[in-house]
Structure 1
């Protein structure tokens, strides 16, 4: 008999950290770990269904400085300005500038190198929703490029290459499952290849260790020795990516 999965529950809570009152959303679900998330919508604490309130408070308290620093950084950050998908607008593609050109004929959407040497995405003149067309083109570019990088790191680790799909998750750049394969966020296609490779190496390492134990990080290091610097750079780069569609902002997370 299949057991019915309990639906997640959320409630508004608050605590006092460093003399500051901090409101947060407590989300209980069928998970095994505790996690903190901070984004423009506020603070969320995700915990297992039957996690005692005292353990939740201890978990938050152990991350006091991290949480207050993230809230301060969020408050100081300028408001996100959505990317305007107009003719001539530039956006990053694999760490290099790329230009949007709305002068294409027919219905074809294509990438090309412009006469001045810059990469361009050529959209048909008749394109109605240029932002949506740009996102679709970036997703296709990502899906065409990611599997080769996953295959490369799987070859280095000596494991079979899993299915690779795209993700739009708000709280993580990638995920790995032995059943469904590896998912990589489509917005990674904006970043320099070396940073994309860090995320790929991280997820491929999970094929050997489905956790974040010292053994897991040892596998990551064998695949990508400079992973610490790449992780820092990835966190910094997240705030600079163009916001093409509502909800594109990447959340800040801390997991336990």
Structure 2
């Protein structure tokens, strides 16, 4: 009996991803092939390239037929991604400006010890960074922005948990942490909680709110079904505009 259970588990374990390629005329497109317990074939394009996910028992013939059926979409997305300008590397210097919560923020580098300080004015924001000898200013800036992001995101999570409680009472507040993922704005797990990309701190409040609402909705529906989007709609009625804005501007964030 034990051997049968072990055998079933081994059969259900997906093999490691494969690197493959498919040819369209004069064009060769590499892709990563992943097998999973899913029942349908799926394809995505991100910074890592093309990933095709298929059921455990799907054949390569079925996989390539699926890719060719979606060839027009695939080539269009690859060309659009290739045409995007590369993210600009942020050159940190005294007086440099970068967006924080959608508004320009001037960085002031000051020698000495102490804590970073945010100076808020009516029309401008400054971040004063104290630098000790030999300290990496780029790394310090990243850490300060991440702390600021975690504090701000925590408040927005509280707000959207309050909104969720109006229609779905009793859902506990999940743990919140940050991620620096290149291809995702957030994720939600019943075990590890909600993770938000710290780079969202560059965006306006409304765009951050959409991502928070999106992940909070996953506490109810761990999928992207119509029921999931109905929860997002309740939490954030402007989600469609925010999602479109993120897609249009997400690739242009400064590289810090």
**TMscore range, shorter length:** 0.7 to 0.9
Q: Which residue of 1 aligns with 2:168?
A: none
Q: Which residue of 2 aligns with 1:119?
A: 125
Kept in 1: contact 2:19–2:33 (CA 8 A): no
Unaligned runs of 5+ in 2: 166-170
Tell me the SS of whatever aligns to 2:184. coil
Tell me the SS of whatever aligns to 2:92. coil
Matched, 1:209 2:216: no
Matched, 1:164 2:176: yes
Q: C-alpha separation between the residues in 1 aligned to 2:160 and 2:34?
A: 35
Matched, 1:21 2:27: yes
Change (3 A) 1:203 1:111: same
Matched, 1:89 2:96: yes
Q: Which residue of 2 aligns with 1:197?
A: 209
Change (3 A) 1:93 1:222: same
Change (3 A) 1:51 1:110: farther
Q: Which residue of 2 aligns with 1:248?
A: none
Q: Which residue of 2 aligns with 1:143?
A: 150
Q: Which residue of 2 aligns with 1:237?
A: 249
Larger radius of gyration: 2
Q: Which residue of 2 aligns with 1:37?
A: 45
Kept in 2: contact 1:107–1:124 (CA 8 A): yes
Q: C-alpha separation between the residues in 1 aligned to 2:174 and 2:81?
A: 37
Q: Which residue of 1 aligns with 2:107?
A: 100
Unaligned runs of 5+ in 1: 245-256
Q: Which residue of 2 aligns with 1:247?
A: none
Q: Which residue of 2 aligns with 1:252?
A: none
Q: Which TM-score applies when normalising by structure 1?
A: 0.83
CA RMSD across the alignment: 2.6
Change (3 A) 1:157 1:237: same
Q: C-alpha separation between the residues in 2 aligned to 1:194 and 1:78?
A: 25
Change (3 A) 1:16 1:168: same
Kept in 2: contact 1:12–1:23 (CA 8 A): no
Structure number with greater CO (CA < 8 Å, separation at least 6) is 1
Tell me the SS of whatever aligns to 1:162. coil
Q: C-alpha separation between the residues in 1 aligned to 2:111 and 2:123?
A: 18
Q: Which TM-score applies when normalising by structure 2?
A: 0.83
Q: C-alpha separation between the residues in 1 aligned to 2:143 and 2:15?
A: 31
Aligned residues: 241
Kept in 1: contact 2:160–2:212 (CA 8 A): yes
Tell me the SS of whatever aligns to 1:9. coil
Which structure's residues are more often helix, by fraction? 2
